[in-house]
Every structure is written in structure tokens, then in C-alpha cells.
Structure 1
Amino acid sequence: MTDLRHGPIAVLTTAHAIFERTRVTVAPRLRSTVDKLPGGVRDIAGYHFGWCDERGAPAAATPGKMLRPALTLLCAEAVGAHATQAIEPAVAVELVHNFSLVHDDVMDGDALRRSRPTVWSVFGVPMAILTGDALVVLAMEVLADTPSSATKLAVAMRELIEGQFLDLSFERLATVGLDACLAMAGGKTAALLRCACELGAAHGGGSPSAVNALGRFGWHLGLAFQLVDDLLGIWGDPAVTGKPVLADLVAGKKSLPVAAALASGGRGAEQLAELAAAPPEHRDVLAMAALIERLGGRSWAHSVAEAQVHTALACLDEAGVAPAARDDLIALATLVTERDR
């Protein structure tokens, strides 16, 4: 088992350096790819990425972390290749990720992302749907010359869609089992992180065993990421996350901390189910958050996220990754459980 050797400051410093390196490498190709879209859709996509305001004027809004492309480039380096060999899949996975964000905001009715009004809230639902669709088309176009990679990405997208379907379906249920909730998280989040790692390793010329091990690293890291995301969806600071307070409870999400609390049994779980079943306008989300914490949902999510990161790091040992890339992947994996946004 690989140890988490990085202190908090070292992790943050290393992660910032990785994300900056990724932006320098990927952002120009990402932007030139998005520029292929017709003018109106291009401007809406540009607004989502933070490159322009709602009128199309240049802007410098807070961008996403580019975690998935960072993993793609690092997994190419992990098998001994140069990061530039994996630029195309890095761009493709970032396009798919952002397609999912644009559509996710529509489905959840979220009005804020990255502390800005979401695409649908500015341009309307039809334009947001169209823009998300356009990003998917671009992603497949980027990988058109490597059919095996396009197929891997398509499979991950299918799993992502299934996970999102389950996520929405769970909102209508009074209770959701932990196994079902973990399966939802696997599709919604872990599948694309697995794909990002597999594509990076494959484009770097990695052996099938290395590609498989790095894919499993991405899968377990994705589960940890979703667990932390679920914690932030309830207890995150809106000033930092850019999302409304208690956003997931307001939306009726049966996220992993909620599912763990419901699975605890007893009168407390029954009370939580009753609170969750109330109409949104009458739902006491503050009481729900307190009850979820008292029933152990918060601590369970923390501990399982840490366990998933440790499992992910064990996969690096199996892959036999290059030392420099190994340290960077450890830093990113550690950051996943310590992030605040």
C-alpha cells in the first residue's frame, strides 16, 4: 500500500502546479476545439468555460479545476510517455465533463456554478441543452482518429447517463439503499475518471495491465470524489463552493451521506425519511442536515472516501508508475479528500 506522504501544504502546492501545467497544455486545444462551434453556441459554451460574459465580451471567470484532463496527462506520464501524447483524450474528457455539468444544472435547477449564473439561467433551458449536446459531439470528433478511445469514452458516457438517471430517480424515493447509491455514484462520477486515466495510459503506450490498473485507480478516486462532493453539497461553504447552502437537500438528493443515515435504522432514520418526503417548500433542510450528522452519515462518508483513496493508491503499486507521475497522482488523490469545493 502506498502511503499518503504529502503534508497539506505540499499537497496543495503540488496540486496547484499540476492544474496550472494542465491548463497551459490543454486549454489552448480545448478553446480551439470549442471555436469550431457555430457562433451563438460557441459563445454560450465560452460563457460556461468562463472565457466570456453573457454578451460574448472577454472575461476571466474562475475556471474548473481540470481534474480529469490532469489525470489523463499524468497517466500518460505514468507509463513513461510525454504528456503531449494524451492531449486529445484530455480535451475529450473535459468536453464530456462539461457537457454533464451544463445538463446537470438544468436537471437540478441549479442557478449557480463556480459563483456565476448557470448557462440555463442566463440563456434558457433549450440553449443549455443544445450547448451540452454540442460539447459531446466535439468530444467524439476529437477522438475520431482513435476509434478504440472513442469507444471507451462512449461507454463511460453511457455509464454517466445511467448514473444521472438513477440520481434523478432517487429524488422520488423515500429511502435508497447504500449499494444502489454507490452504484449511482460509480456511474455518475467514477466512470469518467476511470476513462480519463485509461485513455491517458493507452495513448501513452501503456501495457494492458497498466491501463487496467490506472483505470481502477481512477474509478476508486472517482468514488472518493463523489463522497466528498456529497459532503460539500450539504455542509460546504457557499462562498467557496459557488452553490447555494444545503443545495443537495433542497433538491431532494439521496446522496451518499443521506443514504448512510437512512440505512442506520431506528426512529432517527424514520424521522429523516419523513423530513425528506416533505414538499420542497416545506422541507426543513437544517433539521435534515443535523439528523444526517447525528445518524453518522457525515462521518461514514468521510471514512469511506479515505478508504477509497487508499484503494486507489494501491492500484498505483500494481501499475508500476514512473516516480514523478506517481508523486503527482498521490498529491491529486490526497487533495480529493481535503478539498473544499
Structure 2
Amino acid sequence: MVEPALRARVGGMHAWPAEMAGYAFGWCEQGGEPRAGSSGKGVRQALAVLCAEAAGAPAEAAVDGAMAVELVHTFSLLHDDIMDGDETRRQRPAAWKAYGTGPAVLAGDALFALAFEVLAGSPGPHGGAAVRRLSRDMADLVDGQAEDLLFEERPWTGPGAVEVGAYLRMAEHKTGALLGCAAALGALLAGAPAATVDALATAGRQLGVAFQAVDDVLGLWGDPVVTGKPVHGDLRRRKKTLPVLAALAAGVPASRRLAALLSGAGPLEEAALREAAGLVEEAGGRAAAMAEADARLDRARACLRGVPLAPEPAGRLLALLPYVVGRAG
């Protein structure tokens, strides 16, 4: 329901950024040749549609909101890959590697502008409130991304070190903001009461932190064929992630060996990367990250159960939560 409308709106942009956007969405190859399938799971679209239905509206009420969030999500990925220097996304060259940094920035800007155009033109009485919600949540996303980049410059230990709590607050902004926005926009465009909109937004934000925790684990131990990312990529860049920070905070001998390894000068070679990953696990970082993911999923469930929702779509929302983060229960 959402993707045909999304393709039509992206296709109405200037042909060059439209091609780059199509590449980022997984709809075409570099050069514009159509490609079967698409990138991603459409999670934000599903959240928006299900939250509209849970609020008692037909799914169609959420299409513009679903499109807007998907557009700004893809915008954020285009720019994030540039900021982080990530050369691949989903087993293909990142858009900036395929087209160049400047063109990829331009494509992201075009998607950002289109998102607000779509939402501002949404029929019904709630378009203005929806635009304000998206604006606020995008500001949160920027705050989170700023903190994430600044974390990279801070030491691993000592007074300036990044604490686990600070990392989780960053993740709620950087990753949780758009998932919360998707849920809120679906309910808002459905005309749900403010308490329901806020509860669904909070559920989405908790889901975002759970997703980030699992994503951090996959960044250390995931299969590159599945994740589309190089193994140990975050460690290689000495990026602050939840398993590493939790391991350092554990205060066990493995924590101290890990801190010494990460604080050393020069790049980490493959043997050192494997050793660091082993020390993170030995210090309990992997288990702590997965426990945090499960706790956040429980909070999201509590939010959904705390407000009156239509039973069938509410049940599908509850089923969607663990799927988003790849958890079995």
C-alpha cells in the first residue's frame, strides 16, 4: 500500500536525485536499471499503518505519515554513511561510494524536503500537527547523531569517558526518534487522543533503543553476509557501542585489558580486533546489551498495553516488536 505511493513521489523528483534515491531504496542499480526487491524491511511503514489501525482508523489514513518517515529515514542513512565513512550498505556500495559524496548529500536533501512536502499535503485536519511532530523528532535525531559523533572523540576511561546511561540516551534520540515518530504519526493522522499518540511514540522510542542494542551486537559478532557490514567494523573505528561500554563499566580484569587494548596508538589489526571482541564478551558486554534490548522491548509492550487500542492491530504491533530487533520472544 505504501511503496507504490512512495515510488510515485520519489519518481516526481529531478531525475538525478530520483535515481540515487531509488538506488538507496534498493529499487534500481547504479545507472537506473530496475532491480528486483527493495532495501530494508519497511518497519517504519508498518508501525505507522498499524498504529493508525490500532487507533481505530483505516490503514490508508497513515500512508502519508508512513511515506514521510521512510523518506527521512533514507535521508538519514545517506548522510550517516558519509559521516561514518561506511562504504557498504546491504551488500552494495553505499550511495556516496557509487555516486560521490556531493551527489549523495544532494539526494538526501531532496528526500528530506519531499518528506515534509508529503506530510504538509496530507488531507484531513491533522497535517499541521503531523509536520510539527516530524520536525521535533528530526531535531531529536540530529541531537543523537551529534552526540554519537562527539562520543568518538572521548576517551575510553577516566572522567571524560562515555557512560552507559549517556549512550542509551543518545540511542533513544538517534535511533528511537524515527521509530517513535512513525508510531506517533500513524496515531496522530488517525485522530487518536494525545495520550494514545504519546504512548505509541514512547513504545517506538523504546523499540529504537532495543534495535540499537542488537545492532551493536551484530556490529561485533554478526555475519557480514547477513548484516551487510564488515565484521568488527565498529571496533576497527574505535566507535563507542553498548557492548563495549558495558564491558568497560563491568570493572573485571577483562575490562582493564580491553581498555588498554582500545587506548593503544595506531590501528587495530585483525588479531587485536578478535582479541577485543573476545574481551567484550568475557566482561559481559554482549550479555548486557542483549539484556538491555529485552528490557526495552518489555517497556514498549507496557506502553502498548497501557492505552485502549483496537485488539487485532494491537496484537500485530506486539508481534512486530521482537521481529524488528531479531529476538525470538
Shorter-chain TM band? over 0.9
Partner of 2:275: 287
Task: Note the aligned Cα RMSD (angstroms).
Answer: 1.5
| One-letter amino acid matched to 1:32 | A
**Which blocks of at least 5 consecutive residues in structure 2 are unaligned?**
122-126, 157-161
Tell me: CA distance 1:63–1:147, structure 2 relative to 1, closer, same or farther (3 Å).
same
Tell me: CA distance 1:192–1:38, structure 2 relative to 1, closer, same or farther (3 Å).
same
| One-letter amino acid matched to 2:150 | S
1:88–1:142 CA contact under 8 A, matched in 2: yes
Residue 302 of structure 1 pairs with residue 302 of structure 2: no
Matches within 5 A, 1:1-341: 25-145=1-121, 146-175=127-156, 176-279=162-265, 281-283=267-269, 284-338=272-326
* Alpha-carbon distance in structure 1 between the residues aligned to 2:72 and 2:327: 22
Query: Cα deviation per residue 1:17-75 (whole Å; 9 max; x = unaligned)?
Result: xxxxxxxx110111111112211111111111111111111112542111111100000
Q: Which moved more, 1:273-282 or 1:163-172?
A: 273-282
Percent identity (aligned) = 47
C-alpha deviation, 1:267, in angstroms: 4.0
> What SS does structure 1 have at the residue aligned with 2:27?
coil
* Alpha-carbon distance in structure 1 between the residues aligned to 2:82 and 2:262: 22
* Alpha-carbon distance in structure 2 between the residues aligned to 1:195 and 1:282: 38
C-alpha deviation, 1:266, in angstroms: 4.3
* Alpha-carbon distance in structure 2 between the residues aligned to 1:174 and 1:271: 15
Tell me: CA distance 1:72–1:280, structure 2 relative to 1, closer, same or farther (3 Å).
farther
1:171–1:252 CA contact under 8 A, matched in 2: yes
1:251–1:280 CA contact under 8 A, matched in 2: no
| One-letter amino acid matched to 2:217 | L
2:52–2:189 CA contact under 8 A, matched in 1: yes
* Alpha-carbon distance in structure 2 between the residues aligned to 1:311 and 1:165: 26
C-alpha deviation, 1:335, in angstroms: 1.3
Query: Cα deviation per residue 1:207-249 (whole Å; 9 max; x = unaligned)?
Result: 1111111111111111111111111111111011111111211
Which is bigger in relative contact order (C-alpha 8 A, separation at least 6)? Answer: 1
Tell me: CA distance 1:173–1:70, structure 2 relative to 1, closer, same or farther (3 Å).
same
> What SS does structure 2 have at the residue aligned with 1:32?
helix
* Alpha-carbon distance in structure 2 between the residues aligned to 1:313 and 1:84: 25
1:72–1:86 CA contact under 8 A, matched in 2: yes
C-alpha deviation, 1:177, in angstroms: 0.5
| One-letter amino acid matched to 1:149 | A
Partner of 2:124: none
> What SS does structure 2 have at the residue aligned with 1:319?
coil
* Alpha-carbon distance in structure 1 between the residues aligned to 2:279 and 2:151: 19
* Alpha-carbon distance in structure 2 between the residues aligned to 1:234 and 1:279: 21
2:236–2:268 CA contact under 8 A, matched in 1: no
1:77–1:322 CA contact under 8 A, matched in 2: yes
1:174–1:276 CA contact under 8 A, matched in 2: no
